[in-house]
């Protein structure tokens, strides 16, 4: 079976409060976008996991796909699998690629082996792997709260817009980014802002991580400004970075940037 996990971007990201468990409560709107990995699995005599495309750092056994396999294997009678991941979504970029891979894998083996796991259990399993994994189970624009795993559908139609995502190949440590935030409730909610005309988002819709990340990596701020200079109606960093994106009303212009950056032009 071959599936295509997609990325997401954050429209607004407010860090509301520090939790007793050491995590943070957030508010954001997660929006799926059409930058996709390719993930294939077939029954096998041995458990195998291979990758191609972008190199994946770290210990293979720590990959969320294998953690997802082991999680489902504990509860359901599934065979050993040969799994191959072709990685396109940049890692550590605020695009949720690793979470998408794990969530799509859980949904994929549920369908392939007809396990009949209901949506609530799928969401619970995904949430246990990572805070934003649950989003990719339904993979629809959602308002996210608490750690990012509490989701509610959010009616936002961006089908007439295009999105340009730029990955500067800079790694931003998420724990460091959180350590630089003073949590607080925003004066205006993300929901309220997103129901305003999109032209007003530039002034009101904020990602709280931008301030510390831009101070530490001014070139990321420059990328955001370049997107505005090229006609974006809204531009922002996604998640804790380092990717930035611009939303365009019409076709995305030819944007001249350093060749070390990776540019994705796609739709919502």
Using one digit for the tens of pLDDT, what is the confidence trace for 37-89? 999 999 999 999 999 999 998 888 889 999 999 999 999 999 999 999 999 99
Instruction: Read off the tokens for 130.
Output: 């990572």
Between the two ends of the chain, the Cα-to-Cα distance in Å is: 25
Catalytic residue check, 169: no
Instruction: Check whether 212 has a pLDDT greater than 90.
Output: yes
Catalytic residue check, 8: yes
- pLDDT value, residue 218: 95
In three-state secondary structure terms, 190 is helix
Catalytic residue among 37, 132, 208, 224: 132
CB 245 within 8 A of CB 160: no
- pLDDT value, residue 229: 94
- pLDDT value, residue 58: 84
d(Cα 257, Cα 203) in Å, to the nearest integer? 25
Under the banding of pLDDT at 50, 70 and 90, the label for residue 256 is: confident
Instruction: Check whether 110 has a pLDDT greater than 80.
Output: yes
Peptide bond into 242 cis (omega under 30): yes
CB 265 within 8 A of CB 162: yes
Interior angle at CA 96, CA 90 and CA 99, nearest 5: 115
CB 177 within 8 A of CB 239: no
CB 26 within 8 A of CB 13: yes
d(Cα 165, Cα 169) in Å, to the nearest integer? 12
From residue 256, how far is each of 9, 118, 168, 172 by CA, in Å? 22, 47, 13, 24
Instruction: Check whether 258 has a pLDDT greater than 80.
Output: no
- pLDDT value, residue 61: 85
Catalytic residue among 8, 87, 101, 224: 8
- pLDDT value, residue 95: 96
| Farthest-apart Cα atoms in the chain, separation | 57
- pLDDT value, residue 152: 97
Q: Are strands 81-87 and 48-53 parallel, antiparallel or unpaired?
A: parallel
Strand order across the 2-3 sheet: 2-3, 38-43, 81-87, 48-53
Query: Which residue in the block uniquely carries the two structure tokens 């990995």?
Result: 37
Contacts of 123 (CB under 8 A, 6+ apart): 134, 137, 149
Instruction: Check whether 257 has a pLDDT greater than 80.
Output: no
Instruction: Read off the tokens for 206.
Output: 């904020």
* Neighbour count for residue 77 (Cβ, 10 Å): 7
Under the banding of pLDDT at 50, 70 and 90, the label for residue 247 is: very high
Contacts of 140 (CB under 8 A, 6+ apart): 32, 153
Q: Report the chain's C-alpha Rg in angstroms.
A: 19
pLDDT tens-place string over residues 154-205: 999 999 999 999 999 888 888 899 999 999 999 999 999 999 999 999 999 9
* Overall average pLDDT of the 7-16 stretch: 97
- pLDDT value, residue 59: 87
Q: Give me the chain's average pLDDT, please.
A: 94
């Amino acid at each position: 079976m071959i599936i295509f996990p997609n990325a997401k971007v954050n429209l607004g990201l407010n860090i509301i409060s520090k939790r007793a468990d050491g995590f943070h409560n957030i508010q954001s709107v997660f929006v799926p976008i059409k930058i996709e990995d390719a993930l294939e699995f077939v029954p096998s005599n041995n458990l195998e996991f291979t990758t191609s495309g972008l190199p994946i750092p770290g210990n293979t056994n720590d990959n969320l796909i294998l953690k997802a396999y082991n999680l489902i294997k504990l509860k359901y009678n599934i065979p050993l699998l040969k799994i191959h991941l072709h990685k396109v979504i940049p890692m550590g970029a605020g695009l949720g690629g690793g979470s998408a891979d794990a969530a799509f894998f859980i949904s994929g083996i549920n369908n392939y082996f007809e396990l009949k796991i209901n949506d609530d259990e799928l969401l619970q399993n995904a949430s246990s792997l990572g805070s934003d994994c649950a989003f990719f189970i339904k993979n629809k624009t959602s308002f996210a709260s608490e750690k990012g795993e509490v989701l509610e559908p959010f009616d936002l139609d961006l089908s007439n817009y295009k999105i340009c995502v730029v990955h500067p190949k800079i790694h931003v440590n998420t724990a460091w980014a959180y350590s630089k935030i003073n949590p607080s409730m925003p004066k205006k909610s993300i929901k309220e802002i997103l129901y305003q005309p999109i032209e007003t988002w530039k002034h009101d819709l904020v990602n709280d991580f931008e301030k510390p990340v831009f101070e530490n990596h001014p070139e990321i701020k420059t990328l955001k400004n370049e997107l505005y200079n090229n006609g974006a109606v809204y531009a922002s960093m996604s998640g804790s970075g380092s990717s930035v994106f611009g939303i365009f009303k019409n076709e995305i212009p030819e944007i001249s940037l350093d060749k070390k950056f990776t540019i994705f032009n796609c739709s919502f």
